[in-house]
Amino acid sequence: MKKPTFLLSILLFIILGLFVTRVVISNTISTSGVALGQMQDELRKYKIENALIREKIFTLSSLSNISSEAARIGFSGSKSNFALSKTHPIAAAR
Amino acid sequence: MILRYRTVLLIFTLVFGVIILRLFYWQVVKASELSKLGQIQYGQSIKIEPIRGEIETSDHFPIAANKISYIVFANPKEIKNKEETIKILSQRLDLNQASVSAQLSLDLFWVPLARGVDSGLRSEIEKANIPGVGFEQEFERLYPEASMAANLLGFVGRDEGGSSKGYSGLEGYWDRLLRGKEGSAVQIRDAIGRPILARVNSDEPFGTDGSSLILHLERGLQFLAEKKLKEGVERYGASGGMVGIMDPKTGAILAMANFPSFDPQEYSKYSDDLYKNSFISNLYEPGSTFKPLVVSAAFNEKLLTPTSRCPICTGPISVGGYDLHTWNDEYYPNSTMLEVIQHSDNIGMVYVARKLGVERMTKYLDKFGIGELTGIDLEGESVPHIKPENLWYEADLATAGFGQGISVTPIELLTAFSSIANKGVMMEPHVVAAVKDENGKITKIPPKEIGRPISEATAKVMTEVLVNAVSKGEAKWAKIPGYRVAGKTGTASIPIEGKYDPNKTIASFIGFAPVDEPKFAMLVILDRPTARIYGAETAAPVFFSIARDLLTHFGIPPDE
């Protein structure tokens, strides 16, 4: 008669243990959906920020913008090119 | 007793049997019909637009990109203070109060108010905290370089279904690749019609984003060409102009400029005729810039050499009832072919054309691709009509010799002329160098040879003839000191109502450099310059002005 009681106690203990584990784990992951949602919102926010910064970079680094800013600051284009030719080596000079 | 029991059992069995049959009928036989009805009542198919591919120049700068914009929408059933809302929204969105009021009066859960709203304006409207007003993100085309290469790029508008669609230029030609593949989802509505959920129902529910294009176009060269072209058009009082710069070895288009142009960001504010790329769409009589092709043909057929003399170059001649003159009424008796090109002698060219004859002339027009599409990867290319051989008159042959009475597109002429720079090999012009898919995989587009109209030897001889034309011809005052440039001026009269107007011309210059290993071939065209009418005095200085900077850009030392 002792053996069935012992087995029942063990089973009961296991059931209780699993129940407590389940409660603890459910509790822990119950808010992960919210956290995941928050992370996705932040991700979306950074993606939008990146896209806006990218737009700004493109506009500022465009040649049309650089050209007008350069003119405003006082840069002017080079007017003439010239080539420097090498002097002849001594042996070839006569 | 048993009988009563059995009777009741039978009745119950029959009743349940009928119910089961009826259930089978509604749940199996009529299942798909009822499901569709349910979807219609509670579901709505929505499109998920993919992100359009970008267009990058050779330095990987996106000359056509995407920017975030917003659709401002409202839920009329949730608007509390309608008058106040109409006032605020019409002011912020710069809309008519009547149109906003009309939208908010609709018996719907979602009404659009404005599109293309940027994030700055969105923040302003959000701060107003208007209940029932929301924002939906979408992507809009951004052209960071504004109107640069606008005619080459084209623009993005909307088709009949409201989806983005590319028109003209690259956006039009490569639209299917750029736009990607749409996704679809079913939006479920609750009992009172409010959307509650979207359900995706296919293998690729979110579609596929568009592929991007990487061009041969060099941003700096494009900027340079546009700037110099605009200056030239304004200086010489022309109606417009075009410049095309090509790598003769590969057919790569390094720059292509049109003036006047438009801003693809605001395309609807411009006239339709500004959208087209004149360099590939306009037909014109090329005039003297056509002479190198005719002379090349005669050299290639070994009918003439650079030292062959022209026996008819003593004065004007009459052909088929038409009197033909030189452009300046100066005549050089017994001049060589070298001198005919140097002086741009129309009578000399009549001699060359007669030597060729109609059969060889049409054969070489075909070999040079005149009268056919070049195959350039842009939407809107035109093709001139060349008369069949049996319909040519003597006058047609004579005038074709000096580039009148025959039409070409600028891209056709540049492509054909580039064969002289490329040892006789004609390459297909291409704007796109490679395609990059949504995963970043790059597929290069290789150069394509489309013909060998002349031999390498003929090309070499013709190159020296053209160098001589630049050094000693009418445009010698504009040439770049220290550099050998091969080229030809052109001053073509414009046919108006069956006659040529002597005061209206298409002034042009075509050439390539450096002569030994050409890095670029370029065609400059000014339409109806008024300050001066000759190519040597208008298009040539623009050409050499651009060429000077090109030679510096390519790091080419003097070779003279």
pLDDT per position as a tens digit, B119-164: 889 988 988 888 889 898 888 899 999 899 999 999 999 888 777 8
How many Cβ atoms from other residues are within 10 Å of residue B228's Cβ? Answer: 23
Give the H or E element holding residue B196. strand B195-200
Under 8 Å between Cβ of B518 and B502: no
pLDDT at B346: 94
Q: How far is A91 from chain B (nearest CA, A)?
A: 23
Helices (H) and strands (E) in chain A, counts: 3, 0
Domain boundary residue, one of B142, B168, B186: B142
Residue B530 lies in a domain: yes
Residues B123-133 as b/e (b if ≥16 CB within 10 A, e otherwise) read eebeeeebebb
**Domain carrying residue B72:** 66-142
Cβ-nearest to A51 among B68, B548, B552: B68
- Does residue A62 lie in a domain region? yes
Give domain status of residue A77, yes or no: no
Residue B346 C-beta-side C-alpha neighbours within 13 Å: 27
The residue of chain A nearest to residue B144, with distances taken between CA atoms, is A59
Q: Decide if B21 is inside a domain.
A: no
Is residue B424 within 8 A of residue B459, CB to CB? The reply is yes
- Tokens read off for B190: 């609750």
Q: How many domains does chain B have?
A: 2
Contact across the interface for A64 and B219, Cβ inside 8 Å? no
- Report the pLDDT value the prediction gives residue B202, as an integer from 0 to 100: 57
Q: Does a structural domain hold residue B483? A: yes
Per-residue pLDDT tens for B296-351? Answer: 999 999 999 999 999 999 999 998 888 888 888 888 999 999 999 999 999 999 99
pLDDT at A93: 53
**pLDDT tens string B256-309:** 999 999 999 999 899 988 999 999 999 999 999 999 999 999 999 999 999 999
pLDDT digits (tens, 9 = 90+) for B165-178: 999 999 999 999 99
- Based on the domain organization, do B137 and B233 belong to the same domain? no
Of B52, B59, B69, B119, which to mutate for an interface test with A (greatest number of A Cβ within 10 Å)? B119
DSSP B304: -
Contact status, residue B82 vs residue B34, Cβ threshold 8 Å: no
Determine the pLDDT at residue B348: 96
Residues B516 and B492: beta-carbon distance below 8 Å:
no
Q: What would the mean pLDDT of B468-492 be, rounded to a whole number? A: 92
Q: Please identify, among B142, B166, B191, the residue that sits at the C-terminal boundary of a domain.
A: B142
Q: Which residues of B touch A83 (CB under 8 A)?
A: 482, 557-558
Q: Do B230 and B129 sit in the same domain of this protein? A: no
CB atoms under 10 Å from CB of B482, counted, come to 14
What secondary structure does DSSP assign to B164-179, as a single string? EEEESHHHHHTHHHHH
Tell if the CB–CB gap between B61 and A61 is shorter than 8 Å: yes
- Residues of A within 8 A of B558 (CB-CB) are 83, 85
- 3-class secondary-structure state, position B464: helix
Residue B321 identity (one-letter amino acid): G
State whether B358 and B482 are in the same domain: yes
pLDDT of B205 above 90:
no
State residue A21's pLDDT score.
94
DSSP state of B88: H
Q: What are the backbone angles phi and psi of residue B493, rounded to the nearest 5°?
A: -75, 150
Range of A55's domain?
8-72
What residue of B is the nearest CA neighbor of A64?
B145
Cβ-count burial of B496 within 10 angstroms (0-12 exposed, 13-18 middle, 19+ buried)?
A: exposed
Q: How far out from the chain centre does Cα B315 lie?
A: 45
Candidates B245, B57, B252; CA nearest to B143 is B57
Reported as type and span, the H/E element at residue A18 is helix A2-30
Do A64 and B145 lie within an 8 Å CB cutoff?
Answer: yes
Q: How many domains does chain A have?
A: 1
Decide if B195 contacts B109 (C-beta within 8 A).
yes
Query: Does pLDDT of A78 surpass 70?
Result: no
Question: B201 pLDDT exceeds 70?
Answer: no
In chain B, what percentage of residues exceed pLDDT 90? 66
Strand partners, B245: B255, B522
Domain annotation covers residue A30: yes
For A79, nearest residue in chain B (alpha carbons): B549
Q: How far apart are CA A48 and CA A55, in angstroms?
A: 11
CA neighbor of B129 nearest in space, from B76, B77, B187, B88: B88
- Which of B89, B111, B142 marks a domain boundary? B142
State the nearest Cα–Cα gap between B555 and chain A, in angstroms.
11
Residue A79 resides in a domain: no
- Mean of pLDDT values over B487-493: 93
Distances (CA, A) of B114 to A48, B89, B143, B398, B496: 20, 10, 21, 61, 48
- Residue, of B137 and B40, whose pLDDT is higher: B137
Tell me the ipTM for this assembly.
0.74
* Chain A residues whose beta carbon lies within 8 Å of the beta carbon of residue B61: 58, 61
Domain at B98, CATH number: 3.90.1310.10
What distance in Å separates the CA atoms of residue B493 and residue B56, rounded to the nearest whole number? 39
Note whether B232 and B541 are within 8 A (CB): yes
User: pLDDT at position B192, please?
Assistant: 64
A88 in a domain, yes or no? no
Please report residues of A whose CB lies closer than 8 A to that of B263.
none
Assess whether B135 and B248 both reside in one domain: no
